[in-house]
Amino acid sequence: MAIVFERMTRMRFRCRITGVGPPLFRQAFPMSSMLPDCHHNKIICLIPASTKRCLSTVSTSTSSIEKDDNFVRVRFAPSPTGNLHVGGARTALFNYLFARSKGGKFLLRIEDTDLERSTRESEEAVLKDLSWLGLHWDEGPDIGGNYGPYRQSERNALYKQYAEKLLNSGHVYRCFCSNEELEKMKEIAKLKQLPPVYTGKWASASDEEVQEEIRKGTPFTYRFRVPKEGSLKINDLIRGEVSWNLDTLGDFVVMRSNGQPVYNFCVTVDDATMAISHVIRAEEHLPNTLRQALIYKALGFQMPYFAHVSLILAPDKSKLSKRHGATSVGQFKEMGYLPNAMVNYLALLGWGDGTENEFYTLEQLVDKFTIERVNKHGAVFDSTKFRWMNGQYLKLLAPQELAKLLGHHWKRTGILMESEGLFVEEAVELLKDKVDLISDSENALTNFLSYPLFETLSSSEAKPVLGDSLSEFANSLLAAYDSGELFDALNQGKPGWQNWVKSFGKSVKRKGKSLFMPLRVLLTGKLHGPDIGASVVLLHTLGSGDIVASEIGFVTLEERIKLLKEVEWKSFNNNQTVLEPAIISQ
- The identity of residue 118, as a single letter, is S
Cα–Cα distance for residue pair 344/396, rounded to 1 Å:
14
Q: CB under 8 Å to 213, separation ≥6 — which residues?
A: 174, 176, 220
CA distance 480 to 518: 15
Cα distances (angstroms) measured from residue 134 to each of 93, 364, 370, 387, 491:
9, 14, 19, 20, 45
* Whole-angstrom distance, CA of residue 108 vs CA of residue 143: 10
| Encoded amino acid at 466, one letter | L
Closest CA to 214 of 202, 225, 200: 202
* Cα dihedral: 547, 549, 553, 557 (round 10): 0
**506 exposure class (CB count in 10 Å sphere: 0-12, 13-18, 19+):** exposed
CB-based contact 243:233 (threshold 8 Å): yes
Give the C-alpha separation, 464 to 474, whole Å.
15
Give 397: exposed, middle or buried? Use CB within 10 Å, 0-12, 13-18, 19+.
middle
Number of CB atoms found within 10 A of residue 171's CB: 20
Please say whether the dihedral angle defined by the alpha carbons of residues 86, 92, 96 and 102, taken in this order, is positive or negative.
Answer: positive
Report the amino acid identity of residue 275: A
The CA-atom distances, in angstroms, between 191 and each of 183, 197, 247, 251, 252 are 13, 13, 18, 20, 21
Q: Is 506 a catalytic residue?
A: no
Distance, CA of 170 to chain centre: 43
| Cis? peptide before 149, omega within 30° of 0 | yes
Of 322, 385, 395, 506, catalytic: 322
Q: How far apart are CA 473 and CA 507, in angstroms?
A: 11
Parallel, antiparallel or unpaired: strands 379-380 and 312-313: parallel
Phi, psi of 427 (to 5 degrees): -65, -40
Q: What single-letter amino acid sits at 581?
A: P
Return d(Cα 135, Cα 100) in angstroms, integer: 10
Cβ partners under 8 Å of residue 32, min gap 6 = 11
Q: How far apart are CA 302 and CA 63, in angstroms?
A: 7
Q: To the nearest 5 percent, what fractions of the chain are helix, strand and coil?
A: 50, 15, 40
Asked whether the CA dihedral 158, 159, 165, 168 is positive or negative, the reply is negative
Catalytic residues: 322
